[in-house]
Amino acid sequence: MSTTEDTPQQATVSVTEEAAEEALALIEGEGLDSDVAGLRLYVQQGGCAGLSYGMRFDDAPEEDDTITNHHGLRIFVDPASMNYIDGSVLDYEGGLQGAGFHVENPNVVSECGCGESFRT
């Protein structure tokens, strides 16, 4: 298990302060301990471009996860997903058109029209 604590230059996935605050509020709302639990960011097959992002809260990391800590939020990424999202930034956007998390991924070569899936 590799761990990076609040060192963006070494982190393989970064998180904006807004995204961390929103995720931590959701973790608290779920009754999870944010000192142990975290947000799992992963890539799965699906969508019209071939791959899509997934997110869920996990009680603890898996043995082979990369763990990063940004603004108090722990991020867990499995090795297979890291191949696709290395260097990405997780952001949170709010507004009249809807609010949600968004992954800014430098490895993407194309996205589908709706922005829900991608190809590297």
Written as one letter, the residue type at 36 is V
Average pLDDT, the chain: 81
Supply 53's token pair.
């992002």
Q: Which residue do the tokens 């696709």 mark?
A: 84
Number of domains in the chain: 1
CATH number of the domain bearing residue 62: 2.60.300.12
Q: Percentage helix, strand, coil, to 5, in the chain? A: 15, 40, 40
Beta bridge partners of 58: 38
pLDDT tens per residue, range 67-89: 999 999 999 999 999 988 888 99
Q: Tens place of pLDDT for every residue, the chain, 120 residues? A: 554 444 444 448 899 999 999 999 999 999 988 888 999 999 888 766 677 888 999 999 999 999 999 999 999 999 999 988 888 999 998 876 778 888 888 877 666 655 565 555
Question: Residue 71: left (phi > 0), alpha (psi -120 to 50), or beta?
Answer: left
65/75 Cα distance (integer angstroms): 9
In angstroms, the CA 8 to CA 57 distance is 22
Q: Which residues pair with 110 in a beta bridge?
A: 119
Residue 48 is part of which domain span?
A: 2-119
Which pTM was predicted?
A: 0.80
